[in-house]
Amino acid sequence: MPDDLLSIGELARAGSLPVSALRYYDAAGVLRPAHVDPATGYRWYTPAQVHTARLVASLRQAGLPVADLVAVLAAPHDADALLAQHRRRLEEDLATAGAHLDAAADLLAQPGRGTVVVAELLSAVAAVRHAVGADPDWPGLAGVLLHLGGDILRLVGCDRYRLAVATVPVRHASGPNVRAVAPLGLLDEVASATLPEVGTIAVGTRSLDLFGLTGDPVDAAYPDYERLLLSGGSGGAQPVTVSAERLAADVAGADDVVSLRLDHGQVRLGPPGEDDVHGFSRTFLLDAVRAARAERLSLAFDDGLPLSITPADRPDDVGLVMPIRLDR
């Protein structure tokens, strides 16, 4: 056996082919070893076969079928026509795939539609607007997320420190489950317009139509608010139901940073004590309580987790307020 033969591993490294591929191409008759040790079964290749291995690697990465690959290696001087045919096939496949992708993009961009009570939509906008962000580093938070899914429209406001969700029933819903961020300008236009009691909305990733008033969605990503909802709440602590009016009065008279405890069905507010690790913004608490639009509220909180403020009669409408870590 010549001394300059290459092992299968050496050819794999030099020819940019994995060992498993070389074994397959041996069995397929594409690239056979120059010598096979009868005792060990080891495959050995000549240095000239490095060129062949690189050619095989390039053609297979281009998707050339094995049968055509065998033909190219058998008659390389006649390969141009075969390669040109394969190129045309790839271009046709690419054009077909592009058409399918365009069709899929059009389907994804189709709006969801439905009919809602105008006053309910405007009330929901008012319930979440206090939580809409204004940070230029998070442009997607500068509007209200409209999540239309089946017979429910969810409106979401978030500024990374609080989250507000309000729901609106939808009738005659059709189209896909879709999310789009409505700019505040469009929502202000809707709020100031003269509209019927009931109207049609169309929510799409490329366009918004709210009762005949149209606009473009905010072209920026919105966080996964449903994951935030799952991470917020009591952590197992028992919720407490309280009077919204009484809670608002207590919060309004508190310090800028409030210590909040849920104790035996009571909400206890006060200045942070030495044992408190977290507190809450009085302004954020008051915004959430007032925006809930309910006589009674259900509060759930465990230390270090967001405070959940939910109307007792509308459990799908949720406000989350992030705690502030107190510096000592």
Identify the three-state secondary structure at position 322.
coil
My answer on whether 101 and 116 are in the same domain is no
Is residue 306 in a domain? yes
Is residue 27 in a domain? yes
The predicted pLDDT at position 268 comes to 85
Answer yes or no: are the C-beta atoms of 57 and 16 closer than 8 Å: yes
- pLDDT at residue 328 above 60? no
- pLDDT at residue 309 above 70? yes
My answer on whether 118 and 169 are in the same domain is yes
Is residue 125 in a domain? yes
pLDDT in tens, 81-97: 999 999 999 999 999 99
Looking at the whole model, is its pTM more than 0.75? no
My answer on whether 264 and 239 are in the same domain is yes
**Tokens 């607007």 belong to residue:** 129
Band (237; pLDDT cuts 50, 70, 90): low
The predicted pLDDT at position 267 comes to 85
In whole angstroms, give the CA distance from residue 260 to residue 150.
37
Is residue 291 in a domain? yes
pLDDT in tens, 192-233: 999 999 999 999 999 999 999 999 999 999 989 998 887 665
CATH number of the structural domain spanning residue 19:
1.10.1660.10
Is residue 163 in a domain? yes
Q: Which residues pair with 114 in a beta bridge?
A: 201
The predicted pLDDT at position 231 comes to 66
Structural domain harbouring 210: 112-223
Q: Which of 106, 133, 156 is the last residue of a domain?
A: 106
My answer on whether 135 and 217 are in the same domain is yes
- pLDDT at residue 236 above 60? no
pLDDT in tens, 128-171: 999 999 999 999 999 999 999 989 999 999 999 999 999 999 99
CATH number of the structural domain spanning residue 244:
3.10.150.10
The predicted pLDDT at position 107 comes to 82
My answer on whether 102 and 121 are in the same domain is no
My answer on whether 215 and 257 are in the same domain is no
Is residue 148 in a domain? yes
- For the chain, percent of residues with pLDDT exceeding 90: 70
Is residue 1 in a domain? no
- pLDDT at residue 185 above 70? yes
My answer on whether 259 and 190 are in the same domain is no
My answer on whether 171 and 206 are in the same domain is yes
Helix H or strand E encompassing 202: strand 198-203
The predicted pLDDT at position 232 comes to 60
Number of domains in the chain: 3
The predicted pLDDT at position 261 comes to 83
Q: Which of 78, 106, 134 is the last residue of a domain?
A: 106
Judged on CB neighbours under 10 Å (0-12, 13-18, 19+), 6 is buried
My answer on whether 214 and 129 are in the same domain is yes
My answer on whether 137 and 169 are in the same domain is yes
- pLDDT at residue 110 above 90? no
Is residue 176 in a domain? yes
- Within 8 A by CB and 6+ apart from 205, the residues are 108, 109, 178, 179, 180, 217
Judged on CB neighbours under 10 Å (0-12, 13-18, 19+), 275 is exposed
Q: Which of 106, 138, 162 is the last residue of a domain?
A: 106
My answer on whether 141 and 188 are in the same domain is yes
My answer on whether 117 and 100 are in the same domain is no
In whole angstroms, give the CA distance from residue 242 to residue 311.
10
Computed over every residue of the chain, the mean pLDDT equals 90
The predicted pLDDT at position 258 comes to 87
